[in-house]
C-alpha cells in the first residue's frame, strides 16, 4: 500500500514534464512489484531484496508528455540511514504498505491509528500488483496528477484504468482531481482485501 505526499510541482518544460517519485514502505510490502508492473509490465514472482533501484516510464496526460523517474528503496531497517539519500528533489513520495499485514502500516506511521491525513498525504489508493495492472497504473497516474495540481484527490471509483485516466486527463491541469479515495473517506484497514494494495 502506498501513501502519496506531493512535495513540489513537477518541472514543466513546455509540453514536457519530469516527475521524481520515491517509493518507500516496510520490507516485502510490494514496492518493487508495484514498480516492475508499472515500468516493465512484469510481475516478479520471486522476492529479491532491494537496496536502491531506478525505473523510468513515459506517458501522456492532457497532451503533456510526462517522464516519471521512480526510485525504489529498501524497506529494511538496515538501510534506514541511506534511504533519505533518495529524497532530495522528489516531487512525490509513495508510502506503501501491505493491506494484509497491518504491521507494515504500523511501521510507517509508528502508530497504527494514523492515516493518510495525519501523515500529510493527499490521497489514498488501493491496488494489487499481482491481480490488477490497471490499478497499478492508476497509482502512478494519480501520483503524477496530484504532484502537478497540488490539491486533494477526488472520489472516483475506478472501473477501468484507461477510462478513469481519460476522465482525469480531461480535467484542467490545475487543480487536481483524481480517482483516488479522498482522505475523509479513507477506509480503515480491511484484512480481507488483496495483498499489496496501495494507499496514496
Ligand X SMILES: Nc1nc2c(ncn2[C@@H]2O[C@H](COP(=O)(O)OP(=O)(O)OP(=O)(O)O)[C@@H](O)[C@H]2O)c(=O)[nH]1
Q: Is 182 in the site for ligand X (CB under 6 A)?
A: no
Q: Which is nearer to ligand X, 28 or 186 (CB)?
A: 28
Q: Which of residues 9, 18, 27, 173 is near ligand X by CB under 6 A?
A: 27
Q: Which is nearer to ligand X, 17 or 198 (CB)?
A: 198
CB 29, min distance to ligand X, A: 4
CB 196, min distance to ligand X, A: 3
Q: Which of residues 3, 10, 21, 29 is near ligand X by CB under 6 A?
A: 29
Q: Phi and psi (nearest 5°) for 45?
A: -75, -35
- Work out the number of other CB atoms within 10 angstroms of the CB of residue 82: 12
Q: How many residues bind ligand X (CB under 6 A)?
A: 21
CB 60, min distance to ligand X, A: 26
Q: Phi and psi (nearest 5°) for 184?
A: -65, -20
- Work out the number of other CB atoms within 10 angstroms of the CB of residue 182: 18
Classify the C-alpha dihedral 105-20-60-154 as positive or negative.
positive
- Work out the number of other CB atoms within 10 angstroms of the CB of residue 157: 7
Given the rule CB under 6 A, which of 43-51, 62-70, 138-146, 176-184 is the region that contacts ligand X?
A: 43-51
Q: Which of residues 9, 28, 107, 193 is near ligand X by CB under 6 A?
A: 28
Q: Are 48 and 120 in contact (CB under 8 A)?
A: no
Q: Which of residues 30, 70, 125, 168 is near ligand X by CB under 6 A?
A: 30
Strands (DSSP E) contained in the chain are 2-6, 11-13, 16-25, 52-61, 64-73, 92-96, 123-125
Q: How far is CA 168 from the centre of its chain?
A: 16
Q: Is 186 in the site for ligand X (CB under 6 A)?
A: no
Residues near ligand X, by CB under 6 A: 25, 27-33, 44-45, 47, 49-50, 74-76, 128-130, 195-196
Amino acid at each position: 500500500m502506498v501513501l502519496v505526499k506531493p512535495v513540489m510541482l513537477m518541472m514543466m518544460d513546455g509540453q514536457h514534464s519530469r516527475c521524481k517519485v520515491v517509493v518507500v514502505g516496510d520490507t516485502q510490502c510490494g514496492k518493487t512489484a508495484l514498480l516492475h508492473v508499472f515500468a516493465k509490465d512484469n510481475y516478479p514472482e520471486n522476492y529479491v531484496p532491494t537496496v536502491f533501484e531506478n525505473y523510468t516510464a513515459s506517458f501522456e496526460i492532457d497532451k503533456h508528455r510526462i517522464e516519471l523517474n521512480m526510485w525504489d528503496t529498501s524497506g529494511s531497517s538496515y538501510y534506514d540511514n541511506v534511504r533519505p539519500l533518495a529524497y532530495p528533489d522528489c516531487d512525490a513520495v509513495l508510502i506503501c504498505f501491505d493491506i494484509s499485514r497491518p504491521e507494515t502500516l504500523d511501521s510507517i506511521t509508528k502508530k497504527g491509528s494514523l492515516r493518510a491525513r495525519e501523515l500529510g498525504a493527499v490521497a489514498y489508493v488501493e491496488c494489487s500488483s499481482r491481480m490488477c495492472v490497471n490499478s497499478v497504473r492508476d497509482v502512478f497516474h494519480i501520483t503524477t496528477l496530484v504532484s502537478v495540481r497540488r490539491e486533494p484527490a477526488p472520489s472516483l471509483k475506478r472501473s477501468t484504468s484507461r477510462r478513469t485516466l481519460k476522465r482525469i486527463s480531461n480535467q484542467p491541469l490545475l487543480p487536481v482531481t483524481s480517482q483516488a479515495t479522498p482522505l475523509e473517506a479513507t477506509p480503515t484497514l480491511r484484512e480481507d482485501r488483496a495483498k499489496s494494495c496501495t494507499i496514496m
